[in-house]
Structure 1
Amino acid sequence: MANFIDRRLNAKGKSTVNRQRFIQRYKKQIKQAVSDAVTRRSVTDVDKGEEISIPTRDINEPSFHQGAGGVREKVHPGNDQFIRGDKIERPPSGDGRGAGPGDASDNGEGQDDFIFQISKDEYLELLFEDLELPNLQKNQLNKLVEYQIVRAGFTNDGVPANINIVRSLRSSLARRIAMSASKRAELKRLEEALTQLEDTPGAEAEKIIEIRSKIKILKDKIAKVPFIDTFDLRFNNFVKKEIPSSQAVMFCLMDVSGSMDQATKDIAKRFYILLYLFLTRTYKNLEVVYIRHHTQAKEVDEQEFFYSQETGGTIVSSALKLMHEIQKQRYPENEWNIYAAQASDGDNWADDSPQCHKLLEKNILPTVRYFSYIEITNRAHQTLWREYENLQKSYSNIAVQHIKHADDIYPVFRELFKKQSV
């Protein structure tokens, strides 16, 4: 029997290719486990890896072996019952026992599980597979990461077009000075001595010839120092600097009136976390603005957004007005990709719901890429839901969904951001 395992492109001894092939083969089971993990996990570890359990019978490696039939010989070590030529009877049907425990489960067929650990990146890739941001075609260029070529000092290697002449000549001069400084000093001393001897009557001719010979040797040595060497060459160095061209802002709006209990807020928080993780996979720079409201709206930090509670009624339009003001002041629509997500239990003053319709239609929907509204309640829908539903019929960048329990979060999220048919 022979097993073939592909170990090409392995990183640090790990079978990278086989790992990806394994994930592809069992993607259905893995995606189901990832989907279940979203509702099972706490908010703080929603983007960590995951352990996947797969039945052992499903993970057998393909193998080549001889098929049944034919005549063959086998050697069974430790045989004390049979001799050559004896025929071995088959065991009675159903009498074979596996290698596991002898007693079976009293509530169904038992099976061993294979535990497979996936990384954070693999988890997020499977979590958001087949999802996309609607209306992204209008801003496709802003999604790309742009680079700008900038100067980054000098380097010893490069192409001729990038040679820095001044730096190269400066390096050449320094090298020539270092290599010939002592020789030039000696040459100057000998030349002065030669001049003095030549001006002195009756000087020895042999000494003059000797000094002239030394001067010639020194000049030859100095002349052999190359004017420029490959060691002297300096090239302008250029690097790619990333330019933050893809920037987005996510407005999180939530009702914090007395009707919104902590369990409802926890459901909304899980939805916001999923949305944030999803947007960060598309946009490199993402800012989040938290706006809470009851009868009045206020921009707050994350802690106050999720865990503060107020009493009294609800006026949703106050949050929409504040969002529009912040967007105009800090996030121009021609520079930012704007997304908004609103969570509420549906309570609102009946007279305020038409005002919300007007604010969305006139000020918000023309500027945002996508506006998602989730209503977290087990009661019947009220006027706010109906107003938003009417807007959904006329605008493609608004979506409304209903969440009853925590298990509905991920299915609703997938419904909001599923890939649009072409």
Structure 2
Amino acid sequence: MSIFKKHKTIADRSAGDRERHRKKIEKAIKEGIHDLVAEESIIGESGKKKFRIPVRGVKEHKFVYGENGGKRVGSGEGNDLSRGQVIGKKKKGKGNGGKPEKPGNEKGEEFYEVELTLEQVAEYLFKDLELPNFEKKKNAQVVSKKIKRKGYRTKGIRPRLDKKKTALERIKRMKKEEFTGKREADSDDSFSYNERDLRYKHYAVKEKKTSNAVIFFLMDISGSMGKQKKFLSRSFFFLLYHFIRSRYDKVDIAFVAYEAEAYEVDEKSFFERGSSGGTIASTGIKMVNEIIDSRYHPSSWNIYAFHASDGDNWPTDNDNVREQMSLCLPKMQFYGYCEVEPSTERMQWLRESSLGTTFENISHDKLKTSRISSKEDIWLAFNTFFKGGELS
């Protein structure tokens, strides 16, 4: 007959398991983020779209019959066995594990899938990232949100139960009863937990009004930007867009696309528009300057720009790029240039990128460059621009 014994403590014994589970999900998202953001089907999608994330290394434990093929061994009285001793012999495997794109006949690594929305993915990815060099400006409008600890409560959900605080409340109650004579000080009777002892951590969303901010999305859409280049550029901007929307309220985003001419466009056109024209990069930077001068004065706004291009530019335009950047950078908190150069198209032995070389020769503490050659580089490039509110 089975005997069930009630555990005396009310402490949440599964809290550690949940924390390990949360960390595994976070690790799975970060390891697979290049596949997630580089899915062409999600570019431009809302935060409610759901994705299935494979989480490895989590097994459901259960008793199974042994496969050692040897004599069955028990561990009851009369057997000279010590705790932890391995009994029986492990059956040697004869199969072969599967290799990429090849079949195998051995068991693979166990994993399961969790379903998350884009908003939930953003919470895992961006919790430690901030816009670099953010300054206090007049006429504060931007609302940034953070979850802060705010004391304890006597009611709450089990995952937020504070074991240490609960134990202290129990001790306080016990000492009080001893002081008032309701309980003998040296009593051997157990002193069980009471509902009144429970203390739960309380969290509150703290909204903070900070200064105004505008983010410029600047993208090369010329004829030299082939399908793969556009795909990598849009994937980077898609990640940037969800970072801003998940971390900040009331931030302006201005979308600028350029080829031989520059255009201010809406969000949908930015992620879908293409062109067969030539490339004059200075027109895009000039339009950013004009929009700043007409709508976003640096004394009231934190100004950021993120620029993606394949590095091609009309040779005589590079001097104009330097001139426009000399006007642009003093107004800005940060300018990030991201060069997309798919590994299948790299031809370093023929030429260097004219626009990339131009940016690398501009010495300014608010300018940073990165390179994307494949979808695996998207998250790495993103991280070069954001690191705890400072330039990384």
- The residue number in structure 1 matching 2:335 is 371
Q: Give the superposition deviation at 1:19.
A: 3.8
- Give runs of aligned pairs for residues 326-345 of structure 1, distance below 5 A: 326-345=291-310
Q: Give the superposition deviation at 1:395.
A: 1.6
Deviation by residue 1:292-337 (Cα, 9 ceiling, x = unmatched): 2222222222333343333342211111111111111111112222
322, 340, 352: which one aligns with 2:317: 352
- The residue number in structure 2 matching 1:413 is 382
- Distance in 1 (alpha carbons) for counterparts of 2:273 and 2:39: 24
Name the aligned partner's letter for residue 389 of structure 1.
Answer: E
132, 135, 141: which one aligns with 1:134: 132
- The residue number in structure 2 matching 1:172 is none
Residues 1:334 and 1:2: Cα distance change in structure 2 (over 3 Å):
farther
1:383 matches 2:381: no
Q: Give the superposition deviation at 1:397.
A: 1.6
82, 107, 110: which one aligns with 1:109: 107
Task: Tell me if structure 2 keeps the 8 A contact 1:134–1:397.
Answer: no
Task: Tell me if structure 2 keeps the 8 A contact 1:39–1:410.
Answer: no
- The residue number in structure 1 matching 2:43 is 43
Name the aligned partner's letter for residue 291 of structure 2.
Answer: I
Task: Tell me if structure 2 keeps the 8 A contact 1:7–1:18.
Answer: no
Q: Give the superposition deviation at 1:36.
A: 3.9
- Distance in 2 (alpha carbons) for counterparts of 1:302 and 1:365: 24
Name the aligned partner's letter for residue 43 of structure 1.
Answer: I
- Give runs of aligned pairs for residues 67-216 of structure 1, distance below 5 A: 71=77, 93-94=89-90, 106-118=104-116, 120-136=118-134, 145=143
- The residue number in structure 1 matching 2:68 is none
3-state secondary structure, aligned to 2:369? strand
- Give runs of aligned pairs for residues 228-377 of structure 1, distance below 5 A: 245-361=210-326, 363-377=327-341
Name the aligned partner's letter for residue 52 of structure 2.
Answer: E
- The residue number in structure 2 matching 1:158 is none
399, 404, 415: which one aligns with 2:368: 399
Residues 1:405 and 1:92: Cα distance change in structure 2 (over 3 Å):
closer
Q: Give the superposition deviation at 1:407.
A: 2.9
Residues 1:353 and 1:126: Cα distance change in structure 2 (over 3 Å):
same
Q: Give the superposition deviation at 1:52.
A: 3.6
- The residue number in structure 1 matching 2:195 is none
- The residue number in structure 2 matching 1:32 is 31
Deviation by residue 1:311-365 (Cα, 9 ceiling, x = unmatched): 342211111111111111111112222111111111112221122112212x211
3-state secondary structure, aligned to 1:353? helix
Residues 1:18 and 1:325: Cα distance change in structure 2 (over 3 Å):
same
Name the aligned partner's letter for residue 298 of structure 1.
Answer: Y
Task: Tell me if structure 2 keeps the 8 A contact 1:248–1:283.
Answer: no
Q: Give the fraction of aligned pairs with identical amino acids, expressed as a percent.
A: 30
- Distance in 1 (alpha carbons) for counterparts of 2:27 and 2:273: 40
Q: Give the superposition deviation at 1:287.
A: 1.9
Of structures 1 and 2, the one scoring higher in RCO (CA 8 A, sep 6+) is: 2
Name the aligned partner's letter for residue 112 of structure 1.
Answer: E
3-state secondary structure, aligned to 1:340? strand
Task: Tell me if structure 2 keeps the 8 A contact 1:52–1:115.
Answer: yes
Q: Which runs of 5+ in 1 are unaligned?
A: 10-14, 62-67, 73-89, 98-102, 147-241
Deviation by residue 1:63-116 (Cα, 9 ceiling, x = unmatched): xxxxx98849xxxxxxxxxxxxxxxxx98534699xxxxx99844433432333
- Distance in 2 (alpha carbons) for counterparts of 1:35 and 1:382: 25
Name the aligned partner's letter for residue 43 of structure 2.
Answer: V
3-state secondary structure, aligned to 1:136? coil
Q: Give the superposition deviation at 1:145.
A: 4.1
Deviation by residue 1:178-202 (Cα, 9 ceiling, x = unmatched): xxxxxxxxxxxxxxxxxxxxxxxxx
Name the aligned partner's letter for residue 309 of structure 2.
Answer: S
Name the aligned partner's letter for residue 252 of structure 1.
Answer: F
Q: Give the superposition deviation at 1:404.
A: 2.0
- Distance in 2 (alpha carbons) for counterparts of 1:3 and 1:266: 58
- Distance in 2 (alpha carbons) for counterparts of 1:137 and 1:60: 52
Task: Tell me if structure 2 keeps the 8 A contact 1:248–1:286.
Answer: yes
Name the aligned partner's letter for residue 295 of structure 2.
Answer: R
- The residue number in structure 1 matching 2:21 is 22
Name the aligned partner's letter for residue 219 of structure 2.
Answer: M
* Higher mean C-alpha deviation, range 375-384 or range 267-276: 375-384
Q: Give the superposition deviation at 1:8.
A: 7.7
Deviation by residue 1:30-74 (Cα, 9 ceiling, x = unmatched): 53234542334631458455434344665669xxxxxx98849xx
Task: Tell me if structure 1 keeps the 8 A contact 2:34–2:375.
Answer: no
3-state secondary structure, aligned to 2:241? helix
Q: Give the number of the structure whose alpha-carbon radius of gyration is greater.
A: 1
Task: Tell me if structure 1 keeps the 8 A contact 2:281–2:317.
Answer: yes
Task: Tell me if structure 2 keeps the 8 A contact 1:253–1:341.
Answer: yes
Residues 1:253 and 1:364: Cα distance change in structure 2 (over 3 Å):
same
Task: Tell me if structure 2 keeps the 8 A contact 1:134–1:417.
Answer: yes
Name the aligned partner's letter for residue 408 of structure 1.
Answer: D
Residues 1:8 and 1:323: Cα distance change in structure 2 (over 3 Å):
farther
- The residue number in structure 2 matching 1:235 is none
Name the aligned partner's letter for residue 89 of structure 2.
Answer: S
Q: CA RMSD in A?
A: 4.2
Residues 1:389 and 1:49: Cα distance change in structure 2 (over 3 Å):
same
Name the aligned partner's letter for residue 328 of structure 1.
Answer: D
Task: Tell me if structure 2 keeps the 8 A contact 1:255–1:316.
Answer: yes
- Distance in 2 (alpha carbons) for counterparts of 1:247 and 1:379: 42
